[in-house]
Amino acid sequence: MELIDNLALGFAIALSPYTLMLAVIGCFLGTMIGALPGLGPANGVAILIPITFSLGLDATAALVLLTSVYYGAMYGGRISSILLNIPGDEPAMMTTLDGYPMAKSGRAGDALVISGFASFVGTFFATVALALVAPLLARIAYLFGPAEYFALYLLAFATLGGLASKNQAKAAFASMTGLGIAMIGLDNATGLPRFTGGNLHLFDGIDFLVAIVGLFALSEVFLFIESGGRNTAIGIKLGKITIPWRDIVATRWTLLRSSVVGFVAGVLPGAGASLGSFLTYMMEKSIAGKKGAFGSGVAKGVAAPEAGNNSAAGGALVPMLTLGVPGSGTTAVLLALLMTLNITPGPTLFADRPEVVWGLIASLMIANFVLLAMNVPMVRIFVRVLSVPPAVLLPGVTMVSFVGIYSLSGSYFDLVLMIAFGIMGYVFRKLSIPTVPVILGILLGNQMEDNLRRAMILSDGDWTFLFSTPIAVGLWIFAVAGFTAPFFLRRLIRTPKGIS
């Protein structure tokens, strides 16, 4: 009953014409951003946060707009995977394996419709599961004290770092970089400056939006300039778009299985949508066996990863909303948005700001239907986006990033800092050092330190207090396992051939 009341509250907010309009705009922008090769959901949301913020939208409206962009980008990522064999974003990587062969054999329209429908099913399942699971997890999170939160942050860094990189030392270094940067500014407890070098600009700390836009968007621009323009649209004919009912019915169990597995992958901190699509594709491939002909352009090979990654995108919102710990790069960016809006995610969010949580969940439900409408009958519009030449797109993205940050602070210092983060992101990505843990470190660093200090005050300096409750011990065990498991998993799972 409580769930229905909450959803009623959510829909009352989400169905207002204003919120609905924001959801439609967000879905449209998101699908466009997702469709562009290289500009994934994290980049898209990162670029748009400063602009949304300077528009003065209230918390619910800003959240609805940007999560619609997030969901839209997850839908849109498949378009360039299928038509160009270049994933629009990392989670859409697996869709290239069967999507592109389908397009080459003249079934581009079918592949787009099947994957669009799969995205819808995945997202629908995940949003319903989010509404059911999140409040339960929020109740458990009430049991968390400073020792548990410290262990939880550790778990987030361990798993995110562990899974995001091929080299644990580099992943750990990325987390430390973020945590180190977070220490810059006035100390929360004493009010005294740390690592500022006497520069007044740094007394408030480094704005995470500056870091996010630099590390994600600008580094992408630098990589693109270095490559000298690697993406050129090739002329695959889309043909007439009809709904391939037979394929959709044939993939029904694939869709259901992939949605469940994808959601679980998304909920795990650090795993995210890429793991969701990878696991579901591999699972369906092994279920189908050799007769399934995965990799040659079959409907199931397109449906599984798309249902999986879209479901994981919804799942990743669960730890972000209930614990304040993001499950992926994009949810880290969304966490930055919440913090900018002075909303602290965590169990109290459900009690204190139900309108934000349930408004968001209801908007996601609506956005999903809007996205289905946009991505099946209107898919042609987004296919056109692929023909925007990089010589226009890249300067455009750069200028939007600059104006976004400039409109927030009006200071050249932040812009120069953003360029510095862009260069850092470029070097990190060249050296295969993941950038998401850096962002997570900047976002969570101060809270992690605060919780450690609070735990030590409570225990009068006794460090064993950090392992004093079963929940804390469990989280420590998961953290160690999460950090070390990839050593073994990498030997077991090999990335299939043919991924560009």
Residue 93's CB is within 10 A of a number of other CB atoms, namely: 22
Amino acid identity, residue 89?
Answer: D
From the list 221, 212, 224, the residue with the least C-alpha distance to 404 is 212
**480 is a site residue for other proteins (CB under 8 A):** no
CA 230, distance to chain mean position in Å, is 25
- Check the CA dihedral 230-235-236-237 and report its sign: positive
Which one of the spans 48-56, 94-102, 363-371, 379-387 is the region binding other proteins (CB under 8 A)?
Answer: 48-56
| Minimum CB distance to other proteins smaller for 125 or for 465 | 465
58, 104, 106, 194: which one binds other proteins (CB under 8 A) = 194
| Minimum CB distance to other proteins smaller for 230 or for 252 | 230
From the list 180, 153, 181, 177, the residue with the least C-alpha distance to 165 is 177
| Minimum CB distance to other proteins smaller for 248 or for 433 | 433
| Minimum CB distance to other proteins smaller for 236 or for 423 | 423
**187 is a site residue for other proteins (CB under 8 A):** yes
Query: Which residue in the block uniquely carries the two structure tokens 């003065």?
Result: 56
CA 331, distance to chain mean position in Å, is 4
**106 is a site residue for other proteins (CB under 8 A):** no
389, 481, 487, 495: which one binds other proteins (CB under 8 A) = 389
State the number of binding residues for other proteins (CB under 8 A): 64
**456 is a site residue for other proteins (CB under 8 A):** yes
- Beta strands 185-186; 193-194: pairing state: antiparallel
Per-residue buried b or exposed e for 180-192, using 16+ beta carbons within 10 Å of the residue's own CB? ebbbbbeeeeeee
Distance of alpha carbon 89 from alpha carbon 412, whole angstroms: 31
Which one of the spans 138-146, 252-260, 267-275, 421-429 is the region binding other proteins (CB under 8 A)?
Answer: 421-429
245, 290, 460, 497: which one binds other proteins (CB under 8 A) = 460
| Minimum CB distance to other proteins smaller for 97 or for 417 | 417
**449 is a site residue for other proteins (CB under 8 A):** yes
| Minimum CB distance to other proteins smaller for 24 or for 307 | 24
| Minimum CB distance to other proteins smaller for 17 or for 461 | 461
**16 is a site residue for other proteins (CB under 8 A):** no
| Minimum CB distance to other proteins smaller for 216 or for 281 | 216
Element (H, E) at 485: helix 470-492
Q: Give the footprint of other proteins on residues 218-277 (CB under 8 A).
A: 218, 221-222, 224-229
| Minimum CB distance to other proteins smaller for 243 or for 394 | 394
Report the residue count for the chain: 500
| Minimum CB distance to other proteins smaller for 183 or for 250 | 183
**394 is a site residue for other proteins (CB under 8 A):** yes
Judge contact between 52 and 392, C-beta under 8 A. Answer: no
232, 286, 348, 407: which one binds other proteins (CB under 8 A) = 407
**71 is a site residue for other proteins (CB under 8 A):** no
Closest distance to other proteins from the beta carbon of 413 (Å): 9
Distance of alpha carbon 182 from alpha carbon 445, whole angstroms: 5
Check residue 206 and report its DSSP letter: -
What is the per-residue DSSP string for 304-315? HHHHHHHHHHHH
Element (H, E) at 272: helix 272-288
Which one of the spans 29-37, 287-295, 374-382, 449-457 is the region binding other proteins (CB under 8 A)?
Answer: 449-457
Query: Which backbone phi and psi does 185 adopt, to 5 degrees?
Result: 120, -170
HSE-CB for 182 with a 13 A CA cutoff? 22
88, 390, 482, 486: which one binds other proteins (CB under 8 A) = 390
Compute the CA torsion angle 437, 452, 447, 422 (nearest 10 deg).
Answer: -30
What is the per-residue DSSP string for 227-249? HT----------------HHHHH
Structure tokens at 138: 């929020």
**54 is a site residue for other proteins (CB under 8 A):** yes
Site string for other proteins, 136-175 (x = CB under 8 A): ------------------------------xx-xx-xx--
Which one of the spans 22-30, 234-242, 454-462, 491-499 is the region binding other proteins (CB under 8 A)?
Answer: 454-462
From the list 65, 100, 58, the residue with the least C-alpha distance to 79 is 100
**412 is a site residue for other proteins (CB under 8 A):** yes
Per CB under 8 A, residues contacting other proteins are 51, 54-55, 166-167, 169-170, 172-173, 176-177, 179-180, 183, 187, 189-192, 194-195, 218, 221-222, 224-229, 389-392, 394-396, 398-400, 402-403, 406-407, 410, 412, 415-416, 418-419, 422-423, 427, 430-432, 448-449, 452-453, 456-457, 460-461
